[in-house]
Chain A
């Protein structure tokens, strides 16, 4: 059935309200089951042996003693995960990352795994595995990896995207360029130019729940996987591909997920657990420790970025340019490319050019982290815009408003914008009381904008009308932050029934068609589209049932306010039939009533935000405290405003952590030194003030209710907003994130000298 996704302005009854979430009671009583909360009869415990070296050839491995240990049921190495990737380089990287084949490429890289009857035995077995390493020179810094004599990680990697194709291997995997116009001409026109280099350190998504799964391979060739994931259908595909299973024989159930933020879009342990289960013939539970989470999962790119912006004296930007170098771990990624695309997306520019370099280093394979790559690019660009405003002697908000992209602007990465929210968020910031509140001694205010593409993608939902008129909604996008509540609101809205009569669940891979992951801020956007579509299909059936009941043509039955109604005056004596009425009779009118939907949710609608941050910096210690923070973001339409606010606040908090304290710290030996929450310092409750939010609603023309994704954009501005605030407080431009106290104090000392 065709589905019209176009926005229709209408008064909404359920959407926009704030009902209680359906999974709330389970989560406050401890009953909700996460990755590690599931067990199977006869289950074994798995542990993974990891390389202590940043870069080393695996010369020899002997697992004999471990296999011989009483209680050990399986030991696997790369030999148990043969290469079935058939030339697919991306999939091979996933395989090699799950279990190192010839070389360990970072501290924490898995080299073997055991399954044993209990944890003690599994740990003991790990100690009995002998690995002989030939230690190779390593490189962990993004700039250092690019220099001519840097240790080369992969002799078969030649820089892509350059002409002619290079004939010597390099750690630069790819070069990507975006933009339009003539930047040289633009800079020649400029009255003022700012130019600066920036660095950001590597951070981790920092979800509180470590990766966990239970894998069970059966003797009949079928397999089951219980796992905390952002995308069980994608995990099914990856695991089936890597293990040589038919997709239909692997059933993946997504547990409740204890945070992901992009970090659970990627298989690490799951193929290993399946391989262990296959070898042992028993279910296997694999739970990562926190140390393993930091050393071997996540993280985001470390970056090094140069920005140059020129403007006329009146503030009109004439040219903008950025060169972005992003580390991707030991395998090629597309992170710099995303950074290059997003850099100047907030602005209407005649001449713009961005170049991104993907750089491989001896660090864990980079995974998406909430608007991946955009926060670092925004840090550099929004810092430069702030500096430009100071140089021009104009207000930083006004400068941004003057140059902001609008409907019809050709974006710096190509497409022409439809109706967008950058201008409105800036204007809201300008008139927000926060912007004019007085500042005290050692305090500074900063602001910054952010952009994210948002994503739609493949989506499939089932909506079943029960005999009592309540509705069971099965969706295939994992609920990471309250989407079951949002999608229940959507179903209630479309059907015209009460929110409490809808119960949404996340279905497993055996009971619903394929769904892309919950990433790209797509969960509520795409599944709401599929839910509306499924509801409309169910309504079509209910209209037909009403027509049958009344014995009138179906064309004469219309749907309004949750009821089938007979059109016109000729059926004047027919009372409308509610969902409940129709459902009660369904056994006599053709059986169960259901609406199904499968679609590709196009037109996700780009998202913009503007943040305002006040800080106080202790000039004697470099300690920064956030004293006030405001998030203004376009949601298109906020389906459940409480959880939209939650996304805004959570993204801001993560960005503040990144800006101030979070970073991967490596020793000279290439080993990660802070693989725990003690020294990987995410914000604690006493670090933050209340985070004010303002939701703007500029409808997305490509969604029936105007919904846009809201999950990611909120992490884009905080690095720059915080850096601008600190720079304004101390009078020194901070160009290295995180702005830890030693970095701030060193910058202040340098200024004083």
Chain B
């Protein structure tokens, strides 16, 4: 099987890689590019642990072929912080104890970022339904929702 050459943008950087036709973007990120912050919880789009943002929309990278990234722009958890400055969502997740084991956290952060990018003032219900594709088994979601609310408030410039 011959490899496919892909040129894409990941976290703002030009990236080129070779992948197999049936290889998922998640496998490319983890196994070829060393970007292991995206996690595989199911491989079938049911848990959201591999969430990445592609051309502005949050997607499950396990349901995207590596070859499909050609010419696209991909954001992963590794690109969320600005250097050593954490994104407000990252800060609020730590402050609000919104993670226990943390395996779902990168996926939640990417999905929540995609939400706040389009809806800076989501209601609790909007947050809960937007994040319904991200499974967390530790927290019962309470502190996650609160962290997203707090980050949204901070990003709007309100006192959290």
Please give the residue numbers on chain A whose beta carbons come within 8 Å of chain B beta carbons, in ascending order: 18, 20-21, 23-25, 27-34, 36-37, 120, 205-210, 256-261, 287, 289-290, 480-482, 642-643, 645-646, 649-650, 652-654, 676-678, 682-688, 690-691
Contact = CB atoms under 8 A, between A and B. Distances in A.
B97 A482 contact: yes
Contacts of A23: 102
Interface of B: 20, 30, 35-44, 46-47, 49, 76-78, 80-81, 86, 90, 93-97, 99-106, 109, 124-125, 127-129, 131-146
Contacts of B80: 28-29
A690 B139 CA distance: 11
Determine which residue in A33, A206, A260, A690 has the highest number of CB atoms from chain B within 10 A of its CB, and name it. Answer: A690
Contacts of A256: 101-103
Contact of A688 (B42, B81, B140): B140
Given A207-B101, A208-B47, A480-B101, A28 B135 contact: no
Given A259-B138, A653-B141, A677-B135, A646 B103 contact: no
8 contacts: A258-B41, A259-B103, A643-B100, A646-B139, A650-B100, A650-B140, A677-B42, A685-B144
Nearest to B49: A208
B142 to A, nearest CB: 5
A33 B20 CA distance: 26
Determine which residue in B47, B78, B93 has the highest number of CB atoms from chain A within 10 A of its CB, and name it. Answer: B47
A504 to B, nearest CB: 16
A259 B38 CA distance: 16
A30 B42 contact: no
Nearest to A649: B140
A30 B43 contact: no
B148 to A, nearest CB: 10
A36 to B, nearest CB: 7
B44 A685 contact: no
A634 to B, nearest CB: 19
B132 A30 contact: no
Given A650-B138, A676-B42, A686-B128, A208 B90 contact: no
B46 A20 contact: no
The 10 closest A-B pairs by CB, nearest first: A30-B37, A258-B103, A653-B140, A27-B102, A649-B140, A24-B94, A642-B97, A677-B46, A30-B77, A481-B100
Contacts of A210: 40-41
A685 B128 CA distance: 5
A32 B43 CA distance: 20
Nearest to B143: A646
Chain A contact residues: over half helix, strand or loop, or mixed?
loop
A677 B47 contact: yes
A549 B105 CA distance: 49
A336 B144 CA distance: 36
Given A289-B43, A685-B132, A690-B145, A206 B137 contact: yes
B40 A259 contact: no
A287 B136 CA distance: 20
Determine which residue in A20, A643, A649, A687 has the highest number of CB atoms from chain B within 10 A of its CB, and name it. Answer: A649
B100 A28 contact: no
Contacts of B99: 24, 27-28
Contacts of A691: 140, 142
Contacts of B101: 207-209, 256-260, 480-481
Nearest to A30: B37
Contacts of A36: 30, 36, 39-40
B78 A682 contact: no
Contacts of B46: 290, 676-678
B132 A684 contact: yes
Contacts of A259: 100-101, 103, 137-138
B38 A30 contact: yes
B90 A290 contact: no
A676 B41 CA distance: 10
A645 B131 CA distance: 21
Nearest to A640: B97
Nearest to A27: B102
B41 A209 contact: yes
A27 B147 CA distance: 15
Contact of B135 (A33, A208, A688): A208
A749 to B, nearest CB: 30
Contacts of B132: 684-687
Contact of A685 (B42, B47, B76, B141): B141
Contacts of A690: 124, 142, 145-146
Contact of A652 (B106, B129, B133, B140): B140
B50 to A, nearest CB: 11
A645 B105 CA distance: 18
Contacts of A261: 137
A296 B77 CA distance: 31
Nearest to B22: A120
A25 B104 CA distance: 14
B151 to A, nearest CB: 11
B139 to A, nearest CB: 5
Contacts of A677: 41-42, 44, 46-47, 135
Determine which residue in B46, B81, B140, B143 has the highest number of CB atoms from chain A within 10 A of its CB, and name it. Answer: B140
Given A208-B135, A685-B134, A685-B144, A646 B97 contact: yes
Nearest to A684: B132
B94 A290 contact: no
Given A20-B95, A37-B36, A685-B128, A650 B103 contact: no
Contacts of A650: 100, 137-140
A642 B90 CA distance: 17
Given A29-B78, A32-B102, A676-B46, A643 B135 contact: no
Contact of B42 (A290, A649, A684): A290
A208 B142 contact: no
A259 B105 CA distance: 12
Nearest to B111: A685
Nearest to B146: A690
Contacts of B138: 259, 481, 646, 650
B42 A27 contact: no
A25 B94 contact: yes
B129 A290 contact: no
B108 to A, nearest CB: 9
B45 to A, nearest CB: 9
Contacts of B143: 642, 645-646, 649
Contact of B137 (A29, A34, A287, A654): A654
A28 B96 CA distance: 12
A258 B128 contact: no
Determine which residue in A25, A654, A686, A691 has the highest number of CB atoms from chain B within 10 A of its CB, and name it. Answer: A686
A25 B85 CA distance: 11
B104 A208 contact: yes
A684 B135 contact: yes
B97 to A, nearest CB: 4
A654 B143 CA distance: 15
A376 B95 CA distance: 35
A585 B61 CA distance: 54
Nearest to B125: A686
A33 B36 contact: yes
Nearest to B76: A30
Contacts of A205: 137
A289 B105 CA distance: 20
B35 to A, nearest CB: 8
Contacts of B47: 208, 290, 677
A20 B99 CA distance: 11
A485 to B, nearest CB: 9
Contacts of B86: 25, 28-29
Nearest to A480: B101
Contacts of A686: 125, 128-129, 131-132
Determine which residue in A205, A208, A287, A688 has the highest number of CB atoms from chain B within 10 A of its CB, and name it. Answer: A208
